[in-house]
Chain A
Amino acid sequence: MEARGTVFKYGDNVDTDVIIPARYLNSQDAKELAAHAMEDIDAEYVKKVQPGDIMVAGWNFGCGSSREHAPLVIKTSGASVVIAKSFARIFYRNSINIGLPIMECEEAADAIASGDVVSVNFDTGTIVDETTGQTFQAQPFPEFIQKMISAGGLMNSIKENR
């Protein structure tokens, strides 16, 4: 599986309150929620994002609340993958559970700039910054998690084991 798109770059500790502010959580409609993705730190994001685009950030991406609405709005907004130096643990679980690809890669998160065109291969973990020509290698998922992803997420893997 591969993805290619333009990069939206953010800093460290991007929290779930800025990914999707709680004032909108009286709804569970993914499309309605996605219209507000990132708006408190980047009001332009939802206007500019194109299907396949890539989010790049620093340490502890998705810290804060357990709201699954956070990875959901990123996915629904069109982003194909989040590349970060590290992820907050609940966000990490939630992303796998709902099928938002995420990759941990410190070097890529440092080197890639906003607006760069980047392509990603999820199977090999290779990240290529086409704008600069640099190539990076992300940490692969543990086998257990790869199996869950190929089963189509957590609920499907639970069903299979029933």
Chain B
Amino acid sequence: MGMTMTQKILAAHAGLEDVTAGQLINAKLDLVHGNDITTPVAINEFEKAGFTEVFDKDKVSIVLDHFVPNKDIKSAQQSKQCRLFAGAQNVTHFYDVGTMGIEHALLPEQGVVGAGDCVIGADSHTCTYGALGAFSTGVGSTDMAAGMASGYAWFKVPSAIQVVLTGSLPERVSGKDVILHLIGMIGVDGALYKSLEFTGEGAHSLSMDDRFCICNMAIEAGAKNGIFPVDDKAIAYMEGRTERPYTIYEADEDAVYDQVIEINLSELVPTVSYPHLPENTHPASDGSEIKIDQIVIGSCTNGRMEDMEAAYEILNGKKIAPWVRGIIIPATMEVFKECIKRGYATAFIDSGCIISTPTCGPCLGGYMGILAEGERCVSTTNRNFVGRMGHVKSEVYLASPATAAASALTGYITDPRTVNKEN
């Protein structure tokens, strides 16, 4: 029986000829990752169990990104604990204020992850690196501790849903609309314990930033991982970023899938997930009565360069509605610098938005854009659960950067295809 792309990677890392869905395996890890919230707990577990040395200092990454620059004394203590551990262990891929970015934008950008890798990260959005043709999945802090100690993790080999993409995206429709549409179709547990394997000619038409965004939110459908085939675009992305050799795996022709879903990209429209689940999807054009108080453009889902371009195209030369607070957060220092270089930063500020250095802050209701009771935000982040961005009676509407920018201009949820077309 043939294997899926994910199963091929797992078999190789478990030293097995083949694996089948449901099989429990122990897989060798190419990277064990954590952030400033999950790493302190992992360090405690690591030390409590009596371990003194990580299995490979080049295969551990720690990125301080959730609450930095630190929002308060407690978060400063957590960052300090990570910093001291990374220093003592001589962790190669440690990113602190100045070099940090939002982890899942940063690690691919810096070439820390690549095709064929087997990666665990103590952050649920670790599934992002599937865009590069890696197996990567989110775990908890104890799994991170065990990974740092042993270089291995146990997995139940997942079955898969094949998502066949056809056509190509229309103007102002992006990867975010693809993944929101898919989650709307299958629900927040539609891919529970499974892989989402994207394929088809439409998959190759997507940019790398779109693929990162799509794989990033695989977890929002309950998936273990999301993954794209490695094509010329993926190879071009990796070139110059890493000297580490990468391996290209392909699904077998006769691989078995639990389900096959076809999505014609050409038919997709700007999509918004209403509170309080990512599966509550609606066309953006239906939201014109919904008045908003804030927009956030950023996060590990949508803080990359193309996201900034989409926002710039709509905001440049315009003013956001006076009652809207516009918060734009480039996901890495490279993206931030490029926004300055290209004049986007000036355009964003002139439009009435603010720009922050990279942080996960508002996405998880940490800081930098907390909502008050009754407030509504159109956000390019990934979750709209109760209380996710602040007060339990606030509301988060998930959307693409183009939709968030268009909504900022009008002050209501807005289809980006209807605004500022002359730019």
B-side residues, CB < 8 A to A, are 24, 37-38, 40-41, 44-45, 48-50, 66-67, 71-72, 74-75, 78, 121-124, 126, 138-143, 145-146, 149-150, 154, 156, 188-189, 192-193, 219, 222, 224, 277, 364-366, 370, 383, 385-388, 392
Contact = CB atoms under 8 A, between A and B. Distances in A.
A93 B78 CA distance: 24
Contact of A159 (B50, B142, B383, B387): B50
B78 A66 contact: no
Nearest to B154: A144
Given A40-B392, A86-B189, A26 B142 contact: no
Given A18-B387, A67-B140, A155 B188 contact: no
A94 interface: yes
Interface stretch (A45-53, A56-64, A73-81, A111-119): A56-64
A60 B72 CA distance: 33
B222 A60 contact: yes
A153 B142 contact: yes
A159 B142 CA distance: 13
B222 A89 contact: yes
Contacts of A97: 140, 142-143, 146
Nearest to B138: A66
Contacts of A64: 124, 383, 385
A13 B142 contact: no
Nearest to B392: A40
Interface centre among A59, A67, A69, A86 (most CB of B within 10 A): A67
B78 A18 contact: no
Given A60-B192, A144-B24, A21 B387 contact: yes
B282 to A, nearest CB: 18
Given A63-B222, A67-B140, A90-B138, A155 B192 contact: no
Nearest to A85: B189
Q: How large is the interface on A (under 10, 10 to 19, 20 to 34, 35 or more residues)?
A: 35 or more
A150 to B, nearest CB: 15
Contact of B386 (A18, A86, A154, A156): A18
Nearest to B42: A68
Contacts of B140: 66-68, 90, 93-94, 97-98
Contact of A90 (B139, B366, B386): B139
B61 to A, nearest CB: 15
A142 B24 contact: yes
A61 B189 CA distance: 10
Contacts of A68: 38, 41, 122, 140-142
Contacts of B387: 17-18, 21, 40
Contacts of A60: 188-189, 192, 222
A38 to B, nearest CB: 11
Given A93-B140, A155-B45, A158-B149, A28 B40 contact: yes
A18 B188 CA distance: 16
A63 B188 contact: yes
Given A22-B365, A26-B78, A60-B189, 6 more contacts: A26-B75, A40-B387, A60-B192, A63-B189, A90-B139, A97-B146
Contacts of B141: 68
B385 A28 contact: no
Nearest to A155: B49
A142 B150 CA distance: 22
19 contacts: A17-B386, A17-B388, A18-B387, A21-B387, A23-B365, A26-B74, A28-B41, A40-B392, A60-B188, A60-B189, A66-B121, A66-B122, A90-B124, A90-B138, A93-B139, A93-B140, A94-B139, A154-B142, A155-B48
A66 B126 CA distance: 10
A94 B71 CA distance: 27
A26 B74 CA distance: 5
Given A28-B78, A65-B364, A159 B49 contact: yes
